[in-house]
């Protein structure tokens, strides 16, 4: 192996996903020299190549080609394209990913951020070793470093992954055919998203999770409505029971549950958890210890690890594992490293689940509001009751607002239905600005829009709060 001369940078970022690229660009804008190291040939990390962007692109393609959004008017048998194959899905996906990579390359060039492909390994708290696929090595010195390597699917040894009948959540994007039936193991965000996306293609789907319900961090009323919609479209839910065995047959896979039931399907997607991509970084050389799932512990305000000058951000530090929060974590880490003071971050940020239908939430759930012991009120607006919802053929979904009865301030906003991840930002702004129920009652919303649901839900709560 040939060792090259050593380079030195103010900041070295390991990983080019949302956290890494935002930190790199922020540091560059502060006039710092920045190097991004990634083992992929193309920029973007897991988010662009296997996670956020591919899954959301797949979702949008499926909804467009299947005619899902129009079925409220034309019936469940309606389709825009009668026969949909993987080639239909792959074409749009490739175009989208190419565009994302080009945008990132342009941003790096415009800001003077350098990029090297290779596997990073820490040698000390100010030096790492980069090894290319050809075995070439070079050392890179730095003043500060950010670990932003993302995660990979958790792959238990007893699950027979074969890329033919059993897939993990990265491999499912590479299927060479649409399954005639699908079993999804894992009722978390990723499992729910893929389960409902394939269901929108009219693939029979069974969802399995050991918990009695799914998405336990979401308002229960929203989850209950979501589960009802899943069952109503024919999805099979096997909740409250664990998987004891996954077996591959010649033409199918069989999942045996602990209660003795057997679920047969052509394909199985195992989507029960992810692990940090920290193996091989030699974190022990700098005194950082990852947990059993490869995650790194950080200061929640600065994202600095236990080692001074070494930061970590994004999915590798655990919850909430969102591209949006990862970007902000990377920016905050870069600013802290170079002494840029930032105001305290708002307490509330939106959480989006790109299932079919979408779910998005910000602030307190009703369960959390009840646990405070303070009086609260709830306002509901169902999309089918709005003119825009009727025009669109939306026959399900709702917006739920939670208010403090004493201060009248908005505490939480929760949406299940079309456009939820876009609509939630109105609730986010009102919560973070300390807005009250009067904001929704007294302001004018475009008509007809789904956003008008905020006024309807606000009036619903205001009517019951009028005597306070």
C-alpha 67/C-alpha 80 separation (Å) is 5
Q: Cα torsion at 117, 118, 121, 124 (round to 10°)?
A: -40
CA angle 347, 353, 355 (to 5 degrees): 165
- Tell me the C-alpha distance between 339 and 357, whole Å: 43
Query: How many alpha carbons fall within 13 Å on the CB side of residue 46?
Result: 24
- Domains, the chain, ordered by start: 3-153+275-337 (3.50.50.60), 166-272 (3.50.50.60), 351-465 (3.30.390.30)
Structure tokens, 282: 């030699």
The reported pLDDT for the residue numbered 327 is: 97
What is the distance between the alpha carbons of residues 427 and 147, in angstroms, rounded to a whole number?
32
CA nearest 277: which of 48, 46, 44, 35? 46
Q: SS3 of 449, please?
A: coil
DSSP 344-366: PPPS---EEE-SSS-EEEEE--H
Find how far residue 327's CA is from the centre of its chain: 12
Q: CA 24, 25, 31, 33: dihedral to nearest 10 degrees?
A: 30
- Would you state the pLDDT for residue 78? 87
| Exposed/middle/buried for residue 5 (C-beta within 10 Å: 0-12, 13-18, 19+) | exposed
Output the pLDDT for position 467: 64
Half-sphere exposure of 115 (CA within 13 A, CB side): 25
- R_g (Cα) of the chain, nearest Å: 24
Question: What does each C-alpha distance from 332 to 126, 301, 319, 345 come to in angstroms?
Answer: 20, 8, 17, 9
> How far does the chain reach from its first CA to its final CA, in angstroms?
76
CA angle 354, 356, 359 (to 5 degrees): 50
Cross-sheet strand order for the sheet of 376-382: 351-353, 359-363, 410-416, 398-404, 376-382
Beta-carbon contacts of 228 under 8 Å, excluding residues fewer than 6 positions away, are none
Q: pLDDT 10s per residue in the chain (468 long)? A: 344 457 899 999 999 999 999 999 999 999 999 999 999 989 999 999 988 999 999 999 999 999 988 888 888 888 888 889 899 988 889 899 999 999 999 999 999 999 999 999 999 999 999 998 888 999 999 999 999 999 999 999 999 999 999 999 999 998 999 999 999 999 999 999 999 999 999 999 999 999 999 999 999 999 999 999 999 999 999 999 999 999 999 999 999 999 999 999 999 999 999 999 999 999 999 999 999 999 999 999 999 999 999 999 999 999 999 999 999 999 999 999 999 999 988 889 999 999 999 999 999 999 999 999 999 999 999 999 999 998 998 889 999 999 999 999 999 999 999 999 999 999 999 999 999 999 999 999 999 999 999 999 999 999 999 765
Q: 185 phi and psi, to 5 degrees?
A: -100, 115
Q: What is the DSSP string of 260-282?
A: S-EEEESEEEE-S-EEES-TTS-
């Amino acid at each position: 192996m040939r060792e090259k001369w050593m380079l030195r940078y103010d900041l070295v970022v390991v990983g080019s996903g949302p956290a890494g690229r935002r930190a790199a660009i922020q540091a560059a804008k502060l006039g710092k020299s920045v190097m991004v190291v990634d083992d992929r040939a193309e920029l973007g990390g897991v988010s662009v190549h296997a996670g956020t962007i591919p899954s959301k692109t797949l979702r949008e393609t499926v909804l467009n080609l299947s005619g899902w959004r129009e079925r409220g008017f034309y019936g469940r048998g309606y389709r825009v394209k009668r026969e949909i194959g993987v080639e239909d899905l792959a074409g749009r996906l490739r175009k989208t990913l190419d565009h994302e990579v080009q945008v990132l390359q342009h941003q790096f060039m415009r800001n003077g951020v350098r990029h090297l492909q290779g596997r990073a390994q820490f040698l000390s708290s100010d030096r790492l070793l980069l090894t290319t696929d050809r075995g070439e090595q070079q050392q890179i010195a730095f003043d500060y470093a950010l670990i932003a390597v993302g995660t990979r699917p958790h792959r238990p040894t007893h699950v027979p992954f074969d890329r033919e009948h059993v897939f993990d959540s990265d491999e499912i994007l590479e299927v060479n055919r649409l399954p005639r039936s699908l079993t999804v193991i894992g009722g978390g965000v990723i499992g729910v998203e893929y389960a409902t996306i394939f269901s929108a293609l009219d693939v029979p789907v069974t969802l399995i999770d050991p918990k009695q319900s799914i998405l336990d961090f979401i308002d229960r009323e929203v989850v209950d409505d979501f589960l009802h919609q899943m069952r109503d479209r024919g999805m099979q839910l096997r909740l409250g029971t664990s998987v004891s065995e996954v077996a591959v047959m010649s033409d199918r896979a069989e999942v045996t549950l602990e209660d003795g039931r057997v679920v047969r399907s052509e394909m199985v997607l195992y989507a029960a958890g992810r692990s940090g991509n920290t193996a091989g970084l030699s974190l022990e050389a700098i005194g950082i210890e990852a947990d059993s799932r490869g995650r790194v512990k950080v200061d929640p305000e600065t994202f600095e690890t236990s080692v001074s000058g070494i930061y970590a951000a994004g999915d590798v530090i655990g919850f909430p594992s969102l591209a949006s929060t990862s970007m902000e974590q990377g920016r905050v880490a870069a600013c802290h490293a170079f002494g840029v003071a930032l105001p305290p971050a708002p307490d509330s940020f939106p959480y989006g689940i790109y299932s079919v239908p979408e779910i998005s939430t910000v602030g307190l759930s009703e369960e959390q509001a009840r646990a405070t012991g303070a009086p609260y009120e709830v306002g509901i607006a169902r999309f089918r009751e709005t003119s825009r919802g009727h025009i669109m053929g939306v026959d399900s979904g709702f917006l739920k607002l939670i208010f403090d009865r004493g201060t009248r301030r908005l505490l939480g906003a929760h949406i299940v239905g079309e456009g939820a991840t876009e609509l939630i930002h109105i609730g986010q702004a009102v919560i973070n600005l300390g807005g009250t129920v009067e904001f929704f009652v007294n302001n004018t919303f475009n008509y007809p829009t789904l956003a008008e649901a905020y006024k309807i839900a606000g009036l619903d709560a205001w009517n019951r709060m009028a005597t306070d």
